[in-house]
Structure 1
């Protein structure tokens, strides 16, 4: 199933009709007739979206919306509320509705709303938009308005600026794209669907959504009433919401302001979750002390490079390095000195290796360098550079250690992939054997693996 949806409506016909439509779109749908049952099902099934109809006997839609928000995990739960009257729409938005539905019978728009919320719920590590230079000295949320003419955008700003604590700029499409290309990206774009020609705003939305710097902004499209059939298209292109053009009276302007605030909240929550995901990915891939890749990341990456070398005939070399007598560093000078040695040597190795090399800490004092495309002579020369960069300058030790600096050396074993190796594990085994030979031969030296050593 594409996702779990909970429908709440006291009218059986509404529940059945909506459930059939969503089930036919391959969603896993649960339908209930009361707010109390909705709260129970939300705890049991943990839906990905809740759809609240207009007819509830035991509580109002805003009250149910607020109660769902109070559940564990309810803060991030997308909630769609079917509301027709302006007062009910504003109340639902105040209670935490993610979006409003104008008519349950509009199947295309309903499905587009659901697809948009599901898409926003998917996490992927992506680039974050940089700050808008024009807003540099303003800490308020930032918005850019793009309309068919400046007077229209000025009217939007006049209607909304007393209801929103936003910093608002007015741009034409070319200016909005030029700003985005320079990394001057707002939190929200409010764009007219039709600018100079029909659909210009939707094309601008699509272009901004395709660019790495502006793709994570919030987008709201403004549609004229006679163009309401384009609502589903705008949502599928990535708009978070679609507004009518009339902001003229206090009620519609208040509703529009709440909907902009809702999109801003969703945008910021999505940013927070993406940052958390990137942080978790980085923790899974890197060694927290040295900042190098860890063994969990390096070994599958080596396997992939090994397989690629078998397919394209290019060489791949590995260097396994070990700090000499590292245990004595911890025993004599303390673990703070040991950490200083590891971080300093990791930095020197990273600065000495060519950019295309992969460097990882794969054990306590053991490092791995993977060198794609290098033959034996070049790999040996790089290994010698690494040995010298470690040895030539003593490592400064933290205050409180028994010495100010400490001279450190490494031993290294080199192995190159060949047609007789079945997998990358054998390649590593050859390099390990060469490292043991270097250690047993007096340390602070490089040994190239050979068939005799491997045997």
Structure 2
């Protein structure tokens, strides 16, 4: 099953029909005949989506939606509601994610469900490697969110703007398709696009949607498609291509504009919610991979990266250097001056080490007073020279200690073991990152035992 959906409808045949449709699409379905029953089931099962039909015996769809929003995790729950006439605006104001058209076809409904569940999955998954949305550039003079309207002709988009600009909480710019693409390519992406499905030719608005969704600066925007009534068969296509909603072509009419404004604001709110979650995910991933004291990468990040670089060495034909560095007699710093002084020393030494490394190098804190430096494309002579630069940078000036440490500053030295994986060695046998790290660690022990404050190079033949 791909999702848990709660269906609420006061008519038994409607519940049965919807359950059969959804189960045939491989959704897990629960049903309720009243609002109170739905609330009880939602508390117990935590559905991923709620579909509210009509004819509920105890409350309106809008009232049930408001109650669902008050449940734990209800604020972000996708809720689809069937509504007609004046109920539509009230339902949207109550917090509906989208409306179910009473005469809509099954393909459009399933496409809308897929789109909402896809959105919910995209903003909650831990996917930091894809990066975050690029910040929009060029709109700094107005802090309101930005929308771009693309019609089949400028007059159409201007009509949309005229009807909506006093009803929505964002600024509206009218653009042609080519200009919208060009600006997105250079980072001038708005928060929301409203695009006519047919601009100059049938379906070219959907092609514009696909293009913008593929661009790094615009792919995280909210997208809404405006569709003529005779093109209703394109609703599932638009939703599956990434549109968050599909509005009627006459959205600027006095009857349709209030609903269109709320639906556009809803899409913008979902986009901002997605942005917040993406920022939180990125932040949490940074915290998981970063040492909080020094700001360097931690062991969890560094060791898998060392393995990747060792494999790349065999493919690229370039040497890889690894350094294990350890502060000399660091335990005495904590014992004599306190842990605050020890933290100050670690943070300052980390900064000096980082400043001494080339840009392509990776520096991590393995734990305690031990650091790891990984240098791609670094043969042994260069590795020796860089290690000596790091050693001299550490001892170049005393470290200032915090108040209450017993003295104002303290001189610090490091010892380091350096091992190099040569291109020839990597080509002759599968690279072994653990063995490479062990060679550097043995060299560090040799540096410690021979007097500290020195660099020892591990020979290629040193046993791991």
Which range, TM-score by smaller chain? over 0.9
Question: For the Cα contact (< 8 Å) 1:35–1:56, is it kept in 2?
Answer: yes
1:377: how far off? Answer: 3.0
Q: Name 2:23's counterpart in structure 1.
A: 23
Q: Name 1:241's counterpart in structure 2.
A: 245
Question: For the Cα contact (< 8 Å) 1:416–1:427, is it kept in 2?
Answer: yes
**Root-mean-square deviation over aligned CA pairs:** 2.2
Q: Name 1:441's counterpart in structure 2.
A: 450
Gaps of 5+ in 1: none
Question: For the Cα contact (< 8 Å) 1:191–1:221, is it kept in 2?
Answer: yes
Question: For the Cα contact (< 8 Å) 2:310–2:431, is it kept in 1?
Answer: no
1:303: how far off? Answer: 2.7
Question: For the Cα contact (< 8 Å) 1:414–1:449, is it kept in 2?
Answer: yes
1:33 is aligned to 2:33: yes
1:86 is aligned to 2:85: yes
Query: 1:86 aligns to what SS in structure 2?
Result: coil
Q: Name 2:256's counterpart in structure 1.
A: 252
Deviations 1:244-289 (A, max 9, x none): 0113443311000110111111111111111110111001000011
* Equivalent in 415, 421, 426 of residue 419 of structure 2: 415
What is the distance in 2 between the residues matched to 1:81 and 1:131? 33
Query: What are the residue-to-residue correspondences of 1:369-384 with 2, within 5 Å?
Result: 369-384=373-388
Query: What are the residue-to-residue correspondences of 1:83-232 with 2, within 5 Å?
Result: 83=83, 85-103=84-102, 106-121=105-120, 122-123=122-123, 124-125=127-128, 126-133=131-138, 135-232=139-236
Specify whether residues 49 and 344 from structure 1 end up closer, same or farther in structure 2 by C-alpha distance, changes over 3 A only: same
Q: Name 1:51's counterpart in structure 2.
A: 51
Question: For the Cα contact (< 8 Å) 2:169–2:265, is it kept in 1?
Answer: no
Query: Which range moves more in the overlay, 252-261 or 372-381?
Result: 372-381
Query: What are the residue-to-residue correspondences of 1:297-308 with 2, within 5 Å?
Result: 297-308=301-312
Question: For the Cα contact (< 8 Å) 2:212–2:218, is it kept in 1?
Answer: yes
Specify whether residues 453 and 151 from structure 1 end up closer, same or farther in structure 2 by C-alpha distance, changes over 3 A only: closer
Query: What are the residue-to-residue correspondences of 1:201-350 with 2, within 5 Å?
Result: 201-309=205-313, 315-350=319-354
1:35: how far off? Answer: 1.5
Deviations 1:300-324 (A, max 9, x none): 2223333444566654332100011
1:421: how far off? Answer: 8.8
Question: For the Cα contact (< 8 Å) 2:302–2:364, is it kept in 1?
Answer: yes
What is the distance in 1 between the residues matched to 2:316 and 2:142? 54
What is the distance in 2 between the residues matched to 1:180 and 1:311? 36
1:220: how far off? Answer: 0.8
Query: 1:263 aligns to what SS in structure 2?
Result: helix
1:163: how far off? Answer: 1.3
1:25: how far off? Answer: 1.7
Specify whether residues 8 and 42 from structure 1 end up closer, same or farther in structure 2 by C-alpha distance, changes over 3 A only: same
Question: For the Cα contact (< 8 Å) 2:9–2:54, is it kept in 1?
Answer: yes
Query: 1:36 aligns to what SS in structure 2?
Result: helix
Specify whether residues 453 and 299 from structure 1 end up closer, same or farther in structure 2 by C-alpha distance, changes over 3 A only: same
Q: Name 2:396's counterpart in structure 1.
A: 392
1:426 is aligned to 2:435: yes
Q: Name 1:75's counterpart in structure 2.
A: 75
What is the distance in 2 between the residues matched to 1:132 and 1:315? 41
Q: Name 2:2's counterpart in structure 1.
A: 2
Question: For the Cα contact (< 8 Å) 2:147–2:191, is it kept in 1?
Answer: yes
Specify whether residues 422 and 193 from structure 1 end up closer, same or farther in structure 2 by C-alpha distance, changes over 3 A only: closer
Give the structure-2-normalised TM-score: 0.91
Query: 1:196 aligns to what SS in structure 2?
Result: coil
What is the distance in 2 between the residues matched to 1:361 and 1:132? 36
Question: For the Cα contact (< 8 Å) 2:326–2:414, is it kept in 1?
Answer: yes
What is the distance in 2 between the residues matched to 1:425 and 1:276? 33
Q: Name 1:61's counterpart in structure 2.
A: 61
1:365 is aligned to 2:338: no
Give the structure-1-normalised TM-score: 0.93
1:127: how far off? Answer: 2.5
